[in-house]
Amino acid sequence: MREYTPDTITDAVLEQMGQTPDPRLKEIMAAAVKHLHAFAREVKLTPAEWLLGIEFLTRVGHACSPVRQEFILLSDTLGLSTLVNTLHDSTAIEEATHTSLLGPFYRENAPELANGDNIAKNDPAEEIQLSGRVTDVEGRPLRNAQVTIWQTSSGGAYDIQLDPSEPNFRGVFHTDDSGRYLARTVRPLGYYIPMDGPVGEMVQAQRRHGKRPAHIHFLISAPGYRELVTALYLAGDEHLDDDVVFGAAANLVVHERRDDLESPGAPSIRFDFRLSRASDADMQTGRVGADPAQIAREAVLTARA
Amino acid sequence: MREYTPDTITDAVLEQMGQTPDPRLKEIMAAAVKHLHAFAREVKLTPAEWLLGIEFLTRVGHACSPVRQEFILLSDTLGLSTLVNTLHDSTAIEEATHTSLLGPFYRENAPELANGDNIAKNDPAEEIQLSGRVTDVEGRPLRNAQVTIWQTSSGGAYDIQLDPSEPNFRGVFHTDDSGRYLARTVRPLGYYIPMDGPVGEMVQAQRRHGKRPAHIHFLISAPGYRELVTALYLAGDEHLDDDVVFGAAANLVVHERRDDLESPGAPSIRFDFRLSRASDADMQTGRVGADPAQIAREAVLTARA
C-alpha cells in the first residue's frame, strides 16, 4: 500500500487521473497537477499559507457575478491572459496584427453604423477620427470586413458603467472596397481595474498602481481570415509600459495626427490591421477566447475603484 | 517600450510584482506566476480552453458556501492538500506520526468526554473500542494530551449531514497518566465526496470513482509538542489504495482485533500516536492548517452524492 512523500504524491495523482478518456483533458490536468505541485514544493507551502490561498480563491469566486468577472481579472493581472494571447498569435499561419485583451466590456448590442459615424453620444470632449485599412498580411484590402469598436468615455468609463440600458462608445462598421474603416469618437481615458475586491487587494499588497493606459478595443472579422481581437493604445499615456494587465504593447501604440487630407487640422488616429488567413484549426475553434457574447454575459466587470 | 512574447511576458509580470514589501508574499507570487505560465506554455493553452478554465473556477467559487468548501475539495482531489501535509511533516524536528487530511467536518462543539465514553449516539451498529497511547518520539507517554476524535456514522454520514443541531460521532478525550486514550464508537463507513458540483464533474470526467475509504479523524495536542492532525484508515476497505483525496496511507491503516484484555472477544482498534517536539516555527504558526474553527466555519462540505 502507498506511503506519500513530497516526491511520490504527484505520480499517485497522475496515476489516478490516468483513465481520463478525453486526451486533451488528460494532458491539461496532468500538466496542471505537475506544475501546481512543483510550485508548492518550490516555496514549501505551509498549511497556514495553503489555507490563505483557499480563502483568497473563494473570495475571488464570490466576487464573480453576472456583472463582474474577478477570475478573468486575476488572470489578467497575473499576465496569464496576455500569455494565452501571445501563444494564440504564435499559432497563426501568417504574422498578423497582434492580439490584445478582449476585456470584459465587449457587448453584442453595439449599433451598426456607417463609415464616418460617431460612436460617442453626449460626450462633450473633442472629437477625433479613427481610420485605417483592414488587409491580409500582404497588404491586400479586405472589403466588407466587420470592425467592432468599443472604448470608454472621455472620462474613463464604459457605457455599462454609466448607463447599462444605453449602448454608447461602441459601434459595428464595415470596410469599404479599399478595405477602409472610418469612425468618429472621443479620446478614451485610462482607468483603474476594480480595486474593491480580492484582486485589487492583491495588486495593492504588491504596490502596483492598478491602472490601465487609455485604449480602444477592436474585434475584426472577415470570411476566411482568423478573427482578430485587439486594442490600440494612445501614445503618451504614462502607463503604456506598466499596464496592470499587460495589454499595452509597442506594436499597438497609436500616435495622434492632424494631417488628415479631408479634415486638415482635426485630430486623427490611423491604424492598419493585418489579418492572417484562417487555419483549419481556426475554423474549428472560432473566435479568440470563444464566444464574446458568452464572455459578455458571464464575465463582465462593472465595479471600479 | 515592451513587446510581449510567450517567453518575455513572465519576466514582465515578475518585474511589476518586484516591489512587493512582504518578502514571503513576493516569493510565493513569483513562484505561482512562473509555474502558472510554464503550465500554459507546456500545454499551449488556447483562448477557448482558458475560458473553460475561468468558467470552471468561477463555478467552484460559487459552489462555496458557509456549509461547503469546493476549493478545499479541489485541492484534495488534485493531491495538493496531501502534498502540503507531507511538506509539513518534513519540517518537523522529529519523525512523528504522519499528518492526514483534516477534512471539512471538524467542529469545535465536540463534547468533553471521559476515557471509555461512547461518541456514537443512536447508532444501532456494533460497538468497537478505540484505544492507544500518545507519546513523544521516544515512546514516553504524554499525559493529559487532548485527543479530539470525529468520524461518520456506521452509514457513512457525519453528524452535520444528519442533524446539524446535535453533535454526534465526535468527542474530546484526555490521556491518562500512562498516555492512554480510550473511546467507544461504531465502525465508520467510506463515502463519496460531493459529486454534484464542479469538482464532482471533474472527477467523473476523469473516470475516478469519487470514494474515500472508511476512516476516523484525530486532532491531538500537548503543550510543547507539534499539534497532530491525522486519521486512521480501516484495513480491508477496497479504496485504501485509491482514495480520491489521497488521504489513506499505509502507516495510518489500523486492523481490527478481538484480543482486548478487559473486553475479550469485543472488536477493538489500537493505535499509538507519536508527537514531535514543537519547533520555534511551530510555536509561531500554531496548528496545522491554521484555525480548524475557521475551517469549520468557512470550509464545510455537507452536500453529498
Measured CA to CA, the distance from residue A13 to residue A9 in angstroms comes to 6
Q: Work out the percent of chain B whose per-residue pLDDT is above 70.
A: 93
Interface probe with A: pick from B35, B69, B285, most Cβ of A within 10 Å: B35
pLDDT digits (tens, 9 = 90+) for A181-196: 999 999 999 999 999 9
Mutation site, B34, B84, B239, B240, interface A, largest A CB count within 10 A:
B84
Q: What is the ipTM of this complex?
A: 0.91
Question: B211 and chain A: CB distance < 8 Å anywhere?
Answer: no
Q: What are phi and psi of A203, to 5 degrees?
A: -60, -40
Confidence grade of residue B299 (pLDDT, cut at 50, 70, 90): very low
Query: Residue B237 has what DSSP assignment?
Result: -
Q: Which residue of B has its CA nearest to A43?
A: B28
Q: Which grid coordinates are listed for A298?
A: 458571464
Q: Which residues of A touch B9 (CB under 8 A)?
A: 79, 82-83, 86, 246
β-pair type (A170-174, A146-151): antiparallel
Range with the poorest average pLDDT among A158-172, B123-137, B204-218: A158-172
* Alpha carbons B50 and B243: distance in angstroms, whole number: 29
Closest chain A C-alpha to B18 CA, distance in angstroms:
8
- According to CATH, the superfamily of the domain at B70-298 is Aromatic compound dioxygenase (2.60.130.10)
Residues 6+ apart with CB under 8 A from A9: A37, B79, B82, B83, B86, B246
> How far apart are alpha carbons B143 and B176 in whole angstroms?
5
Residue B292 has pLDDT above 70, yes or no: no
Residue A293's pLDDT band, with cuts at 50, 70 and 90, is very low
Cβ of residue A201 closer than 8 Å to a chain B Cβ: no
Distance of alpha carbon B15 from alpha carbon A302, whole angstroms: 28
How big, in percent rounded to 5, are the helix, strand and coil portions of chain A? 30, 20, 50
Whether the CB of A209 is below 8 Å from some CB of chain B: the reply is no
Mind telling me how many Å the CA of A132 is from chain B's nearest CA? Answer: 22
Q: Does the CB of A40 have a partner CB in chain B at under 8 Å?
A: yes
- Residue range A236-241: mean pLDDT, rounded: 96
Range list for CATH 2.60.130.10 in chain B: 70-298
* Residue B223 in contact with partner chain A when CB distance is under 8 A: no
pLDDT for residue B130: 97
pLDDT > 80? residue B123: yes
- What is the reported pLDDT for A278? 94
Lowest mean pLDDT among A216-220, A294-298, B143-147: A294-298
Chain centroid to Cα B140, Å, comes to 27
Give the integer Cα–Cα distance in Å for B297 and B302.
12
Are B1 and A75 in contact (CB < 8 Å)? no
CB contact under 8 A, B84 and A47: yes
Percent of chain B at pLDDT above 90? Answer: 81
Task: Give the distance from CA A206 to its chain's centroid.
Answer: 22
C-alpha closest to that of A137 among A218, A226, A60: A226
C-alpha cell at A73: 481579472
CA distance B26 to B21: 7
Nearest residue to A33 (alpha-carbon basis) of A19, A13, A55, A61: A13
- What confidence tens digit (pLDDT) does each residue in A97-134 have? 999 999 888 988 899 999 999 999 999 999 999 999 99
Kindly state the DSSP code that residue A93 receives in the 8-state scheme: S
A285 band by pLDDT with thresholds 50, 70 and 90 = low
The pLDDT mean for chain A works out to 91
pLDDT (average), residues B270-295 = 71
Q: Give yes or no for a contact between B145 and B179, defined as CB atoms under 8 angstroms apart.
A: yes
What's the pLDDT at B275? 98
Q: Find residues 267-296 of chain A whose CB sits inside 8 Å of chain B.
A: 285-286, 288-290, 294-295
pTM of the model: 0.91
pLDDT tens-digit profile of B165-201?
889 999 999 999 999 999 999 999 999 999 999 999 9
Contact B72 A60 (CB under 8 A): no
The residue count for chain A: 305
Q: Above 90 in pLDDT, residue B90?
A: yes
Across the interface, whether the CB atoms of B47 and A13 are under 8 A apart is answered: no
Tell me what the mean pLDDT of segment B210-218 comes to.
Answer: 98
Q: Which of A189-193, A279-283, B255-259 has the lowest mean pLDDT?
A: A279-283
Q: Any bridge partners for residue B133, and if so which?
A: B180
Q: Which of A13, A43, A61 sits opposite B60 (nearest CB)?
A: A61
Largest distance between two CA atoms of chain A: 81
Residue A291: pLDDT band (50, 70, 90) is very low
- Residue B285: its pLDDT value, please? 59
What order do you get walking across the sheet with B170-174 strand by strand?
Answer: B170-174, B146-151, B215-221, B228-234, B253-254
Q: Which residues of B touch A298 (CB under 8 A)?
A: 55, 58
Q: Tell whether A62 is within 8 A of chain B (Cβ).
A: yes
